[in-house]
Amino acid sequence: MPHYQIRGKVPDKRHIVFEKPAGGLYAEELVSAEGFSDIYSIVYHNHPPTKVLKIDDPLDVSPEVIVDNNLQNRSFKGFDVNPVEDYIQSRKIVLTNDDVNLILAAPSKSMTKYFFKNSGSDEMIFIHRGTGTFKSVYGKLPFKKGDHIIIPRGTVYQFDFDDADNRLFIVESKQPLRFPHRYMNKSGQLLEHSPFHERDIRTPQELITFDETGDFLINIKRDDMIYPYHYETHPFDAVGWDGYLYPFTFSIYNFEPITGRIHQPPPVHQTFETNAMVTCAFVPRLYDYHPESIPAPYHHSNIDSDEVLYYVDGDFMSRNNIGKGQITLHPKGIPHGPHPGAIERSIGQKETNEYAVMVDTFKPLKLTKAALDIEDADYYISWLH
């Protein structure tokens, strides 16, 4: 995954005395994945990160599943989700299974009254609209349109948006998110044939170091519940950290497409993976250059994964009547493909300017009320004419 980073002040060795200038010790916290067996960071706080004042009653945020067993091609108009001021309330789960929640959110206010922590899932937040700063104990991470913000579970964070116009597509994953194994060498470096490189990864920069006590609310999500934890100390109180575990951004605009003489399959567009799904980024690219190539995709059947496409920008060459922020869901077992006319239209074309994010889940996805509220109900018969 990402490589070693260091910010601020850390002692010369792990687990030794680290004195504050005014006396007393900084509080060392090891943040580690898979017990002590995978990536970790060591954070040095002004105060121990354990000073819980109280815990309010938990809040149930279970998705309202309406269609448990879906075997129909579907489409949802993502931009029909209404903006909501509060970040947590803005997160609308539209598709869900035991491994992932796919969420649309249009938060219109920055987070000022509380912090958020997802302790059960990693998050990939694709910024479709909006700019600002993602704040965590690891420092300030600026974001803008086209960024995927990758947030390891357990990261306490706040979104600071520059204005009210924000559109987020969020993948909440119970399995750890990682770069595709086939793009990494045995030392974890991205290989030469990878469509992205370490220089394309943006990491937290300027540390945020509060040395404050009071009542700090962290809304902690695990599974379908949110636990309002009140702490006595500000969560962003680190004077330094180092390690491999931290949030980062990767922009869709830095994805270098892989092209060929004939149509390339979706895995060439892959960005991240878990044991339960893959994600891809479709970006502007030159079309296939065999003289008789058909640039539009062939009809296909996913026999073992549900396929979700989130349309971002440009003309979507294989689809008619698709808008920005729209989602299509093509479940395993039901063929799908270009809309009528799209194959013929694509022949002889030189390039596409489409942007889209894809999520393929290995378990079937269930549909929530929030999805049905924005559904294009006739999509499943849209291949007729």
Q: Which residues bind Fe ion (CB under 5 A)?
A: 307
Nearer to Fe ion, 288 or 307 (CB): 307
Residue nearest to Fe ion (CB): 307
State the residue for tokens 């789960």.
Answer: 93
Closest approach of Fe ion to the CB of residue 305, in Å = 10
Least separation, in Å, of the C-beta of 371 and Fe ion?
19
Nearer to Fe ion, 172 or 307 (CB): 307
Q: How far is the CB of 240 from Fe ion (least distance, A)?
A: 46
Considering the complex, state which of residue 122 and residue 307 has its C-beta at the smaller distance from Fe ion.
307
CB-based contacts of 285, cutoff 8 Å, min separation 6: 257, 259, 351, 352
334 vs 372, which CB is nearer to Fe ion? 334
Q: Do 205 and 6 meet the contact criterion of CB atoms below 8 Å apart? A: no
- C-alpha distances in angstroms, 190 versus 41, 183, 246, 358? 20, 6, 18, 21
* 179 residue type, one letter: F
> Minimum distance from CB of 300 to Fe ion (Å)?
6
Q: Looking at beta carbons only, is 201 or 312 nearer to Fe ion?
A: 312
Instruction: Output 323 or 337, the one with its CB closest to Fe ion.
Output: 337
- The least CB distance from residue 382 to Fe ion, in Å, is 14
- Min CB(328)–Fe ion separation in Å: 8
